[in-house]
Structure 1
Amino acid sequence: MRFIALLILVLHLALPVFAQDNAASIATVNSAQQDADIAVRLREILDELGNYDDVTVTVNEGVVTLRGTATSSIEAAALEPLAYRLEGVVAVRNSVVETADISARLDPAIARFKARLDQLIAFLPLALIAVALFALIVFVGFILARMRQPWDRLAPNAFIAELYRQLIRIVFVIIGIVIALDVLNATALLSTILGAAGIIGLALGFAVRDTVENYIASVMLSIRQPFSPNDAVEINGDTGKVIKLTSRATVLLSFDGNHIRIPNATVFKSRIINYSRNPERRFDFQIGVASDADLSTVRDLAERTVTSQPFTLEIPAPAVWIDRIGDGAIFLTVTGWIDQRDTDLQRARGETLRLVKEAIEAAGVEVPDTTYRVQMLGATTAQVTESDRAPHPSPPTKPTAQPADVTATGDEQLENMIDAERQQDTGGDLLSEDAPKE
């Protein structure tokens, strides 16, 4: 306890010493010459600064007294720290106030305006040279961008060629800005401009993200060319013929005659089924025969019938197989191939189904009707008669000697509609028949 009390006493005695060392010291001797020197020096500084013509300075025993007016309160407040910087100043009494004279307050502003006008006049010839160089460089860039070659030869289509031209214009504009700023000796401003442009570009990128995504997808689709005009395609569940590919969407004409616009970002990310890329296309259907029929004979008969049709192809060859056993019938799957450039798929399928059915029935094999008929008797009772349960045999038919016309007239009509719309379109189509296909 004695040790702690002694320590507290020592600290108590030492605190005044530390306070004296940290406080600013004041000399015990002052002279009139020192006061005069402080006053002269401070007046010289105020004369050099200007705007302090109405300020008087007096110094006595190191205390500086400032009286008068200044053109602004900021200039008046700046006098006190300025006076303290002089050696020998003990205290400062700042009695300088803002002047109420309008002309005195306007004179500095007019002087600054004249100085800036003189600077502008001196700077104007250099600025004109910089602007002329910028305009010349941009003009050369736009002339190069307007040339058809080599951009049309380098680009796979007109859309990419125009993209090359836009890049050339942007590059020459940036070069012109850099050279103009270098002439003006203001290249440090370029980093500020680029930083602001980066922030603005980032904000715009988030704002128009979907538009940018569609634009990039348009560029990729125009390069890849996954389909051509008049191609029958399925995109994201929509089926139709391709009209055109724009910078924003892919336009289809459905088989019902409706226009379908699909955003290119969706097209690029979706599964695309192109039914027109290969001219050969397969059709298929199922047909049921009685369970007591000779399935091998029926299968061969159906295959020969499909093969004998003038619109079916030999290679790939038709195929028939036993698919499943159903209610009241055994079902066969029949397939055949056509050249869809000359033959309508749906008409060929329907005509083949009719001919195979007639051939099977002509051979004495029953093609049963597997539909069940429910007859309601009374309010709550339902009975099924045996005659209704049993399959109804089809009446005998006479086979047709020649198949009906299955020419692809429907597709030709759709193609004519698409061609008419494409001819009305003055531009913006990114599809090209001569471009390489994916």
Structure 2
Amino acid sequence: MKQLIQINDPSSAIDIEIQGSVVNLHGSVTEQASKERILQTIAALPGVTQVVDNIQLRAMEPLSLAPLQQDARQFWAKTLQYLPSLALGLAIFLLLFWLSRPIARLLIQPLTWVTQSELIRLVMQRSFSMLIILLGLYIFLRLAGLTQFAVAIISSTGVIGLILGFAFKDIAENFISSLLLSVQRPFKLGDVIAVEGQLGIVKKVTARATTLVDYDGNHIQIPNATIYKNVIKNLTANPRIRGNFMIGIGYDTNIRKAQDIAMEIMMAHHGVLADPEPQVLITNLGSSTINLQVYFWVNAETHSVPKVASILMRLLVRAYEANKISMPDDARERIFPQGIQLVSSRHQQDQTQLSGQPITEQANLPNEQKIPDLSDEVHDDASVDISSDTDDIRRQAAQSRDPENGANII
């Protein structure tokens, strides 16, 4: 029966007493409409013949600020109670915040015996500083009576780190790769390396990328994750680099003589190292030439491999020409669909005498290759520049604008 009665005033109290078909109502309400609705609802129930109305109307109590004042007094009392703890916690937090960096630097001192990486020391120092600051915050919240909140903050730190790790996966991967590169140090600043088809001098290595300067003067930034996961060719770790080129000689040539001439030229050149010794090997037999592969070693720090190879090829060609060693071109087949007209030498001489034009040997052989006169050519090998271009690129890299901010980590 009580569920059938809807009272807007929650402070109203109604007691219902049933005696047979007579219902006695006792209590009080603050609204007349509520009282009438109660009487109508009870009278409409089946089996009720009489409703005794003992419900009194009472005035609604004005809004009291006493509970709020009581809560404020309790809050102030607790604040005064916890004020010394709050002051102590705040002082500890500020002290640890101020001392976080010096303490972190002191804690990472043993790392100098293990690694010389500036990046490792910087990361460890910042990690220790962050832990010290979190410790100060935890102590402050505990002394303030917010133990559960302090535990929640410490727990959420790991969750936030996990979320950020997934959100910035590529950045984290490059950062971790930079840590590994700084520890393993597969190269150093100024080295010539080849990575992912890019060849250049290492100008700078930051926490995100490595900057190379190629031999065209271009700055190339490669993410550290790409460098760490791929093959790194360090051309400076061993300054000795082997160069090679191929030259073809005719089948009617003395092969041993051709090899000896090439060896003599390389052994006499100051840019070619005697140890390891140069080699001249037969690589394959072509359609019209025997192909010789010439191998030589050069100190890349002082000499350029392409420049030395250029001089050796020039000297070798001149030496073969002087020693009558043929270097024929590839065999070709020429087809004349209409045929060619054959003219005898006697007929051509008669025609020439009639025309009054002189007869020359070169006119009889129009397609024959003319050998130039090399008697006046001076081979001054010592005056040719064969210096390495690496130092020039290093100077250009040092003078160029830095394309990325950040300190070097190696």
Structure 2 length-normalised TM? 0.73
Q: How does 1:332-347 map to 2 (within 5 A)?
A: 332-347=292-307
Secondary structure of the corresponding residue to residue 212 of structure 2: strand
Q: Does 1:134 align with 2:113?
A: no
Q: Does 1:429 align with 2:408?
A: yes
Q: How does 1:163-182 map to 2 (within 5 A)?
A: 163-182=123-142
Are 1:369 and 1:391, in contact at CA under 8 Å, matched by a contact in 2? no
Superimposed CA distance per residue, residues 93-150 of structure 1 (whole angstroms, 9 cap, x where no aligned partner):
xx999x976624x553444344334333332322121111122223222222356982
Are 1:286 and 1:332, in contact at CA under 8 Å, matched by a contact in 2? yes
Q: Does 1:259 align with 2:238?
A: no
Match for residue 413 of structure 1 among 365, 379, 392: 392
Secondary structure of the corresponding residue to residue 296 of structure 2: strand
Are 1:134 and 1:179, in contact at CA under 8 Å, matched by a contact in 2? yes
For 2:77, give the aligned amino acid: D
1:123 counterpart residue number? 82
Secondary structure of the corresponding residue to residue 285 of structure 1: strand
1:80 counterpart residue number? none
Following the alignment from structure 1 to structure 2, what is the Cα–Cα distance between the partners of residues 152 and 251? 27
Q: How does 1:278-357 map to 2 (within 5 A)?
A: 278-357=238-317
For 2:408, give the aligned amino acid: D
For 1:418, give the aligned amino acid: A
Match for residue 233 of structure 1 among 179, 183, 193: 193
Superimposed CA distance per residue, residues 247-292 of structure 1 (whole angstroms, 9 cap, x where no aligned partner):
1100001111111000001011011111111111110000011121
TM-superposed deviation, 1:393: 7.8
TM-superposed deviation, 1:61: 7.5
For 1:112, give the aligned amino acid: D
Are 2:181 and 2:228, in contact at CA under 8 Å, matched by a contact in 1? yes
Following the alignment from structure 1 to structure 2, what is the Cα–Cα distance between the partners of residues 112 and 96? 33
2:122 counterpart residue number? 162
TM-superposed deviation, 1:152: 7.3
TM-superposed deviation, 1:201: 2.1
Following the alignment from structure 1 to structure 2, what is the Cα–Cα distance between the partners of residues 156 and 352? 44
Question: How many equivalent residue pairs?
Answer: 347
Q: How does 1:1-400 map to 2 (within 5 A)?
A: 60=17, 67-68=28-29, 103-104=63-64, 107-145=66-104, 150=109, 153-154=112-113, 155-370=115-330, 395=372, 397=374
Following the alignment from structure 2 to structure 1, what is the Cα–Cα distance between the partners of residues 250 and 368? 9
Secondary structure of the corresponding residue to residue 260 of structure 2: helix
Cα distance, 1:286–1:197 mapped onto 2, change above 3 Å: same
Gaps in structure 2 of 5+ consecutive residues = 1-9, 31-54, 341-363
TM-superposed deviation, 1:326: 1.8
Secondary structure of the corresponding residue to residue 277 of structure 2: coil
Deviates more, 1:189-198 or 1:59-68: 59-68
Are 2:301 and 2:388, in contact at CA under 8 Å, matched by a contact in 1? no
Are 1:233 and 1:276, in contact at CA under 8 Å, matched by a contact in 2? yes
Secondary structure of the corresponding residue to residue 240 of structure 1: strand
TM-superposed deviation, 1:321: 0.3
TM-superposed deviation, 1:423: 9.2
Cα distance, 1:362–1:116 mapped onto 2, change above 3 Å: same
Cα distance, 1:59–1:256 mapped onto 2, change above 3 Å: same
Deviates more, 1:193-202 or 1:316-325: 193-202
Are 1:374 and 1:383, in contact at CA under 8 Å, matched by a contact in 2? no
Superimposed CA distance per residue, residues 21-47 of structure 1 (whole angstroms, 9 cap, x where no aligned partner):
xxxxxxxxxxxxxxxxxxxxxxxxxxx
**Greater RCO (CA < 8 Å, at least 6 residues apart):** 2
1:37 counterpart residue number? none
For 2:125, give the aligned amino acid: R
Superimposed CA distance per residue, residues 331-389 of structure 1 (whole angstroms, 9 cap, x where no aligned partner):
100010111111111101111111122222211101223385989x9xxx8999xx99x
Gaps in structure 1 of 5+ consecutive residues = 1-51, 70-94, 432-438
Root-mean-square deviation (CA), in Å?
3.9
Deviates more, 1:390-399 or 1:404-413: 390-399
